[in-house]
Structure 1
Amino acid sequence: MASDATVDAYDELLERYERISNIQSAAGVLSWDQEVMMPDGGTPARSAQRSALSATSHELLVEEDMEGALEAAESADLSGEQAAVVREIRRQYDRAARVPTDLVAEISQTTSEALPVWKEAKAEDDFETFAPILEDLLDLKREYADHIDSSRPPYEVLFEDYEPYLGLDTAERILDRLREELVPLIDEVGESDVEIARPFDGTFDADAQEALARDALDTLGYDWERGRLDTAPHPFSTGTQFDARVTTRFDEEDPLGALTSTIHEFGHATYTLGLPDDEYGSPLGESRNLSVHESQSRLWENHVGRSQPFWSLFLPKVKERFSGLDDVTARDAYEAANRVYDDNLIRVEADELTYHMHIVLRFEIERALIEGDLDVREVPQVWNDKMDEYLGIRPETDADGCLQDIHWSHGSFGYFPTYSLGSVLAAQLYESADAAIDDLDDDIESGEFDALHDWLTTNVHSHGQRYTTPDLIEEATGEAFTADYFLDHATAKYGALYDL
């Protein structure tokens, strides 16, 4: 049994951390509101509000009493879960303590100011409008990385904000392998003479698409008591286990894009909602990191939402919402949902194969920007050249090219590799879930998702940050992190679809 001194030291540390966590959650709501609901004129006040919250949470994290609380807890006799909590708070403290509060506040304010600039630049197809504030953000993030560890490349330091335990070398190894093995597969698909069904060519009303998105969330088991669906320029999910919101966007010529984006964001939300309620405000009630978070969204989007059993289940709903699809079969819809595009410029609309070339492109460009090897004004040209090299297409506009993603306006440099890491992990997790659940395909086709929800909650969500990323993967799957399952999945699936 823990001593009174142990209980007191741990409880004091956790109480301090809970205050920080609540401030950060409040800042998240303000950020959601800025992207979804806030009137355009609200930016000056919102920038100041978010800056103040960022500065306050940073000050609370790095204050002298927090260091004392950490040291007292670290010297106590802790349980395994308590030790994990202290480990995670220590990791945050050690990084934050090296960064001046003024810099944290300035980064927060600049990202708030950058969001409407990015929106305008994208709408007007004018990268030069965005370039100056992008330069400011790069300077600020380089300074931030330099404070944390000036002995290492700044991009490596920034990457650890999003994936602290796998290491940038692991990300590079995974991305290199995907590039080496997917490019030949993509080429084979491009040379195939198989005609993939295209039943969703045409125009589909945005209101009907929204109704269908809500149908999909109902079907998959979204908890509307703790969530909501809205639209945003770039789909995202945010929140806590008590309030996990999703957003999507609608293109009347691409109904599958909205549907898959909605299912993707549902995957994020179901992870957030699966975190233990009684650990709210503690690292045990927070998601592991963005690689694991992305594994949940990619699992639901690709392994469920693009599967033949799902389309056997869901096609009747599609036909209810859209006219002119009476003769479409579940096989037709499955093929359309998995068509490999040779002309897709947009990452969030990309298929499972070419998606990773989008990530490689962004990874290379943002690392070169952060490391000072690429000037901001060169980004459109380099972006287009790499699109040509990796995907064989060139954007005609920057809106469809280097301005399409929101992440740089958030100052999120080092984020993009987690998309591919998450996709790879999704395949590994799904393989383990499939082995553990009897007739998972039959469950999906029948609209029975409880077993999959339960497996993911038990093996991933319920642990919060109890384990490091490698340890969580081993706990869930019994194996070390590997790209084998994703590449096997991709080869088998697309080999069958395109008769390779």
Structure 2
Amino acid sequence: MATDSHGQGMSPDEAYETVLQKSRRILDLEKTDFTMRWDSDVMMPEGGAPARASQRSSIAAAQHRYRTDDDLGAALDVLADADLDRDRAVVVREVRREYDVETSVPSALNDRIADVTSGAHEDWKRAKAAEDWSQFAPTMERVVDAWMEWADNVAPAADPFETLWQKRSGYHAQRYIDLETVNEIFDDLREALIPLIADIRDSDAAVATDAFTAHGPYDPEAQRALCEDTLSLLGLDWDRARLDLAPHPFSYGTQYDVRVTTRFSEETLMDGLQGVLHEFGHTAYTHGLPQDHYGDPIGEPRGLGVHESQSRFFENHIGRSEPFWEYFLPTVQEHFPQLAGITPRAAYECVNQVYEDNLIRVAADELTYHMHIILRTEIEQALVAGEIGIDEVPEVWADKLDAYLDLRPESDAEGPLQDPHWAGQIPAFITYTIGSVLAAQLDATMREDLDVDGLVREGTFEPIHEWLTERVHRHGQRYETDELIERATGEPLTADYFVEYAREKYGEIYDL
């Protein structure tokens, strides 16, 4: 029995119901904030920004109050030694982890973080439009300072960057993958990808790089119709999702309602199309979470790294595969008859070209993408360690991009202002590469059970969905990340499968 005034006389069943009730409140508030973020980028009039910042700050404050509620703490104490079934034990484990973190942080600091981050997204949009890092730098400094103080409260003796990576609460949390594993993966990718990218640039292979750009422009309304057909072909449940446009593609939602966004370029189909392929993976994961656990951790995704593995799987291992273009190209040609002369092989080569002038992460090819992620993470680590100042970020960015990809941005909008992530969190990018690495590992394992290429060539995606749901989606947060990965693939997370996949695929395309 609990001994304090809040939990006195509480039975284990009553304590569990208290934990469950608080969890539902926390997650409902989080999903409400998602909808507000979606509305900010999709529908809100520009003049609504000041009120929206206040609203999101209030939601964050309310979440914190529920996460640190005295009744919740008392209930968790009652359950500390209780004999719980597996699912209840999982719920208590995950709620306890967040309670311990959140109660270590003063309310005033949480309020400050909420205030800083709730308005930072609008600050980023204005600075990007002006192509001026100096307009965003003061906000970025406040974001970094606030999160560093947060890390110092959560784990005073630990590396603050690792604390920020592993100890976050809510949707942005990436629990149970340690920083040592991240660094090993990044080291393996640097070693493999930098020489592979160099060999590709030296290749004389005649790759059909302009298969799509040579036949533009592409009407945005026709692109939207193509993207809707693409999502339908992949199996999107439209009763639980919708598609809209946003400056930066994203998807947020629940098992019952996912908001998918993309953006279009009239010069190429690939911005919009790759956007929906990517976001479909996120949506498939969210829709595949157990509905009967909505409102508790088992109904929640197992961290952003796992979430990203699903989007990268559909974007790259499906949407950038040759069998996909053998199946899908006729649909594209129905919407854009000017592409009637394009072959599936030309489309495949085009979507897998490795760009020599790639400056933008979300438009990056499958290989140079990870140098963008590594660059950003190195800058984050240097900021947290005090090795560079906020004002130095554009110069450091340019120098690292030059070293890794022999490029320099022409403006801050092409450099550190291209992504919105630093408006709210740090670190913000590691999970993208973790997701790609895990996607390759899942793909290799899936191919032991399914004829993936044959299914894709026929447009039969249901067995692929079922495999992912069985191995990943339906478990939510039932297993810690490392256990989930081992159960799904038979071994710990490793970069080996991605490196093998990259060398084999691009070696064939570029005659290496």
1:5 positional shift: 4.4
1:120 positional shift: 1.5
Counterpart of 1:109? 115
Structure 2 residue aligned with 1:179, among 190, 193, 205?
A: 190
1:435 positional shift: 1.3
Cα distance in structure 2, aligned partners of 1:221 and 1:417: 29
Q: Which amino acid aligns with 1:431?
A: A
Q: Which amino acid aligns with 2:56?
A: R
1:371 positional shift: 2.1
Q: Note if 1:336 corresponds to 2:342.
A: no
Counterpart of 1:69? 75
Q: Provide the secondary structure at the position in 2 that maps to 1:246.
A: strand
Cα distance in structure 2, aligned partners of 1:241 and 1:144: 31
Q: Note if 1:310 corresponds to 2:324.
A: yes
Cα RMSD after superposing both structures = 1.3
Q: For 1:328-373, what per-residue CA distance to the aligned partner results, in whole angstroms no more than 9, with x for missing partners?
A: 0000000001001111101111111111100010000111112221
Cα pair 2:438 2:494 within 8 Å, conserved? yes
Q: Provide the secondary structure at the position in 2 that maps to 1:336.
A: helix
Instruction: Write the mapping of 1:319-334 to structure 2, written as runs, cut at 5 A.
Output: 319-334=333-348
Instruction: Write the mapping of 1:92-241 to structure 2, written as runs, cut at 5 A.
Output: 92-160=98-166, 161=168, 162-197=173-208, 198-201=210-213, 202-241=216-255
Corresponding pairs, count? 495
Q: Give the unaligned 5+ runs of structure 1.
A: none
Q: Provide the secondary structure at the position in 2 that maps to 1:238.
A: strand
Q: Provide the secondary structure at the position in 2 that maps to 1:372.
A: coil
TM-score, length-scaled by structure 2: 0.95
Q: Which amino acid aligns with 2:430?
A: P
Structure 1 residue aligned with 2:472, among 460, 466, 489?
A: 460
1:235 positional shift: 0.7
Q: Give the unaligned 5+ runs of structure 2.
A: 1-9
Cα distance in structure 1, aligned partners of 2:376 and 2:502: 22
Cα distance in structure 1, aligned partners of 2:158 and 2:24: 31
Q: Which amino acid aligns with 1:421?
A: I
Q: Note if 1:388 corresponds to 2:399.
A: no
Structure 1 residue aligned with 2:386, among 347, 372, 381?
A: 372
Counterpart of 1:416? 429
Cα distance in structure 2, aligned partners of 1:116 and 1:8: 43
Cα distance in structure 1, aligned partners of 2:447 and 2:80: 40
Counterpart of 2:415? 401
1:314 positional shift: 1.0
Cα pair 2:116 2:143 within 8 Å, conserved? yes
Q: For 1:455-493, what per-residue CA distance to the aligned partner results, in whole angstroms no more than 9, with x for missing partners?
A: 111110100100011100111111111111111111110
Question: Which piece of structure 1 moves more, 185-194 or 116-125?
Answer: 116-125
Q: Which amino acid aligns with 2:425?
A: S
Cα pair 1:51 1:106 within 8 Å, conserved? no
TM-score, length-scaled by structure 1: 0.97
Stretches (4+) displaced over 4 A = none
Cα distance in structure 2, aligned partners of 1:141 and 1:230: 32
Structure 1 residue aligned with 2:60, among 42, 54, 57?
A: 54
Q: Provide the secondary structure at the position in 1 that maps to 2:338.
A: coil
Q: Which amino acid aligns with 1:495?
A: G
Q: How many percent identity over aligned positions?
A: 51
Cα distance in structure 2, aligned partners of 1:104 and 1:233: 28
Q: Which amino acid aligns with 1:420?
A: T
1:408 positional shift: 0.5
